[in-house]
Structure 1
Amino acid sequence: MAWIAFTLVGLIILAMAVYFFLPSVLRVMGLHRHYTIPEFDLTGRRALVICTSHSRLDPKNRDTGAFGSEFTVPYYAFINAGMDVDMASIKGGEIPIQPGSWSWPLACDDDKRFMADANAMEKLRNSRPVTEVNPDDYDVIFMAGGWGAAYDLAQSEELADLVTRANGSGKILGSVCHGALGLVSAKGLDGKLLVKGRRVTGVTDNQIHTFGIAVTPRHPEEELRKAGAIYECQHAWLDPFATHTTIDGNLITGQNQNSGYETAHRILEKMATQGNR
């Protein structure tokens, strides 16, 4: 019977090792890799973080929504810089969260901070509908991703109008991962599609196939290319561990869930060189 006891002890130790060390191993591989955003003082400036309202992953009817770190990382990057941050979604109300993104081993430090932040959670549960947003109230409009965004960001005429007006006022437009779908239907100052001829990024088709979510209706790489964008990305041994950020004028976009830190950093950096608008 002793060998059974030793086996059980060994399995417990192995399970504990996996629990404590797997998040660190994933970070080393590239998931939410450590990134230090320099300090900025942008007190008095304002940011709006927009998420999906879609909660079901058709046709299998699984839960979906916004990916945690894709809004929590920029949210706290802006908060840490002294900015006021509001949250909105396509329909308003509670923003659905993509399962697993706020759980072990994927949840990052900003996810945990957000879940423990009563004020932030109140904004999440009572997000403003995009129809009630005045872009002139903000310095930056940032669109987060998550698989739910494939169902409503590019399809929303109201979001397209909001982004078009924000661009017309010279606001910074940011996105990460599927959030880039919020750019594809907006118009530029010339009346043509906003992203036409401009350098942008979003989640790769390769990553979408890696996760087995090709059933979603809109894919950022495909939609950006169709809209005439100069699509950029980086690849890794698996694209979920890659990252890339592009800057083209007031468009600052990140490739995937790993790109929120640098994308937020570059947004803050650009804001710091601008006067109040």
Structure 2
Amino acid sequence: MTKILFVITASDHWTLADGTRHPAGFWAEEAIGPYQVFKEAGYGIAAATPGGVPPTVDALSLTPDFNGGEEGAERMRSALREATELAYPMRIEDVNIDDYDAVFYPGGWGPMEDLPDDGASGRLLTDWLASGKPVSLVCHGPAALLATIGPDGTSPFAGYRLTGLSNAEEKQNGLADRAKWLLQDRLVNELRADYREADPFTPHVEVDRTLYTGQNPYSAFPLAQELVRALS
């Protein structure tokens, strides 16, 4: 059976430039949409977080405003309750990549807090890239790639064509002026990636070799479909 590992933030906040802790976590749509795509394809699913901490969903991502109304919000809440594999993660350090066919990092503001500096996640991504199996990240999820930058300032992902939440989108979110840093800036200036973006909040997926990335929440579903095609 094909098996996908979800690596999810363990943070329930994002610390802004003034020290304010903005409530956060993973974004429901970016986990549940791909989860459902993978389950429909018959894949097995497991999850890992820093420290094996049960992940926190961003409460904002469960509201009617972000789900097309109350009916959509309830469907998302119900789907989240049914995604039991995501609720009981292992520690990232305990992952054996030989047990999985691909890795998927959902976004949300939580990954901006813990994953850019998580050494275990950085090593996992580096080893996964070397294995030749797909690496997939969406929205703020590519913040995890920053942990692959070594002491010499280089990353094995340098030069890869990728996407992630754009500066323009973070501005529309209303947090860009309060953030310590913006994802697009660090992917370009520190990771040295070939960053690509589409119009704000339109679906956009980039595939470069075995790296699969999506720009924003609306890209999570097509990104998962792209990954299924690659694994078929």
Query: In which range does the TM-score fall when normalised by the shorter chain?
Result: 0.7 to 0.9
State the shift of 1:93 in Å. 2.3
Counterpart CA distance in 2 for 1:163 and 1:116 is 28
After superposition, the Cα gap between the structure-2 partners of 1:223 and 1:256, relative to the gap in structure 1 and judged at 3 Å, is same
State the shift of 1:220 in Å. 2.2
* Residue 232 in structure 1 maps to residue 196 in structure 2: yes
Among 153, 160, 181, the alignment partner of 2:115 is: 153
Among 223, 229, 233, the alignment partner of 2:186 is: 223
Counterpart CA distance in 2 for 1:138 and 1:201 is 24
Check whether the contact 2:28–2:80 (CA below 8 A) recurs between aligned residues. no
State the shift of 1:51 in Å. 1.1
**Which consecutive residues of structure 1, in runs of 5 or more, have no partner in the other structure?**
1-43, 273-277
TM-score by length of 1: 0.74
After superposition, the Cα gap between the structure-2 partners of 1:116 and 1:54, relative to the gap in structure 1 and judged at 3 Å, is closer
Counterpart CA distance in 2 for 1:99 and 1:256 is 18
Among 205, 219, 222, the alignment partner of 1:259 is: 219
Q: Kindly indicate which of the two structures has a greater share of residues assigned to helix.
A: 2
* Residue 111 in structure 1 maps to residue 68 in structure 2: no
Instruction: State the Cα deviation string for residues 183-210 of structure 1 (Å, max 9, x = none).
Output: 233279xx94122111100000111122
Check whether the contact 1:150–1:217 (CA below 8 A) recurs between aligned residues. no
Counterpart CA distance in 1 for 2:14 and 2:193 is 27
Q: Which one has a bigger Cα radius of gyration?
A: 1
Counterpart CA distance in 1 for 2:145 and 2:215 is 14
How large is the Cα RMSD of the aligned pairs? 2.0
State the shift of 1:69 in Å. 0.7
Among 80, 83, 95, the alignment partner of 2:40 is: 80
* Residue 244 in structure 1 maps to residue 216 in structure 2: no
Among 49, 57, 61, the alignment partner of 1:101 is: 61
After superposition, the Cα gap between the structure-2 partners of 1:218 and 1:97, relative to the gap in structure 1 and judged at 3 Å, is farther
After superposition, the Cα gap between the structure-2 partners of 1:124 and 1:135, relative to the gap in structure 1 and judged at 3 Å, is same
State the shift of 1:133 in Å. 1.0
Instruction: State the Cα deviation string for residues 111-136 of structure 1 (Å, max 9, x = none).
Output: 3442341xx23x33321121111112
The percent identity for this pair of structures is: 26
SS at match of 2:33: helix
Instruction: State the Cα deviation string for residues 34-71 of structure 1 (Å, max 9, x = none).
Output: xxxxxxxxxx0000111111112333333211000111
Check whether the contact 1:141–1:172 (CA below 8 A) recurs between aligned residues. yes
Q: Counterpart of 1:52?
A: 9
TM-score by length of 2: 0.87
State the shift of 1:175 in Å. 0.6
Check whether the contact 1:151–1:218 (CA below 8 A) recurs between aligned residues. no
Check whether the contact 1:151–1:216 (CA below 8 A) recurs between aligned residues. no
Instruction: State the Cα deviation string for residues 82-127 of structure 1 (Å, max 9, x = none).
Output: 000011112222101112101213235873442341xx23x33321
Counterpart CA distance in 2 for 1:143 and 1:127 is 13
SS at match of 1:101: helix
Give the total of aligned pairs.
220
